[in-house]
Structure 1
Amino acid sequence: MSHTVRRVSDLPADGGPATRPSTPPRLRAPAHLVSPRARLMWTAVAALEVLVLLALQVGWWWLDGDGSRTPHVVVGLLWLVFAVAYVGGMPLWRYRVHRWETTPTAVYTQRGWLSQERRIAPVSRIQTVDLARGPVHQLFGLASVTVTTASAAGPLTIEGLDADVARRLVDELTDATVAETGDAT
């Protein structure tokens, strides 16, 4: 029994269905980047994290009023270098790394920034497909899609998708999972 799966990435400009011949799943780089707004979201989250560290630094400065200021200056300078590199570099690097793709036979993901992970999940093994939109995602019009399989490695997550793309992806994967005759174990 064969079936056709529409993929968000393969939809023609007129919105009609498109198909590709199915190929056996192989671990490879996925084709699609996440939304460019994901960079802004990751930058905002990183800036908030850095501000928490700054608040701790200021608190330490005030609580240690009688001590030498040299350790505060050294830690402050190290914090500043870290903060600029983290807020300025991490979101750009994550955007270059985070990728996703679906085919009629599999879901491909690649994520991370310091530690990177590339994963594949055959459609026949998909058990659930979830869409998540926390407050920060909603602020930037983004969503995350989580594909749960029977794998001990855990679910595949595609973070930073445009909310509409994420909804269509969830619909497509759900349709493909329902149409799949495999055992999903």
Structure 2
Amino acid sequence: MWRVTALVEGAVTIGVALLVDLAVDSFDLPGWAVALAAVAVVAWAVVVPQWRYAVHRWEVTDTAVHTQSGWWAREQRIAPLSRIQTVDRAEGAVARLFGLATVTVTTASAAGALEIDGLDLARAQDLVAELTLMADAVEGDAT
């Protein structure tokens, strides 16, 4: 999913640049720049998904939701179940092609929501139900 998304986003970016090149007479995009952009998109689509898979992790315990993400710097986040306000599931167009979804856990944190990307759709649905029940069972007002 991450590889296809990177390829689609790169193709759209190159396509927009080519359309601008055709539409604006004073804009002259050299052929080598288009070729270099295409190579960069393919390289990005090969490297980034493997890197994300190696780094991104998540876990749900009896007391919290843990996530790890990042590219150059790794970020580990922990959301106590008592702080969970909402649990959402989203399926983007590319994710649907692969039967995948993203679960978003929203808390009262200024750092924002925790996202768990690339889950199997059935697992994502189960996780939303599981976290909703777990958060509801914990005393507290999630603020």
Aligned-partner Cα distance in 1 for 2:78–2:32: 45
Higher RCO (CA 8 Å, separation ≥ 6 residues):
1
Among 56, 59, 62, which residue is 1:98 paired with?
56
Unaligned regions of 5+ residues in structure 1, if any? 1-40
Partner SS, residue 4 of structure 2: helix
Return the TM-score normalized by structure 1: 0.67
Q: Which residue of 2 aligns with 1:53?
A: 13
The amino acid of 1:44's aligned partner reads V
Among 107, 110, 114, which residue is 1:152 paired with?
110
Following superposition of structure 1 onto structure 2, how do residues 116-131 of structure 1 map, counting pairs within 5 Å?
Answer: 116-131=74-89
Greater share of residues in strand: 2
Worse-superposed segment, 79-88 or 152-161: 79-88
Partner SS, residue 124 of structure 1: helix
1:83 aligned onto 2:37 = no
Q: What's the % identity of the aligned pairs?
A: 50
Aligned residues: 143
Q: Which residue of 2 aligns with 1:21?
A: none
Q: Which residue of 2 aligns with 1:138?
A: 96
Aligned-partner Cα distance in 1 for 2:13–2:126: 38
Partner SS, residue 164 of structure 1: helix
1:44 aligned onto 2:13 = no
Aligned-partner Cα distance in 2 for 1:127–1:65: 52
Return the TM-score normalized by structure 2: 0.85
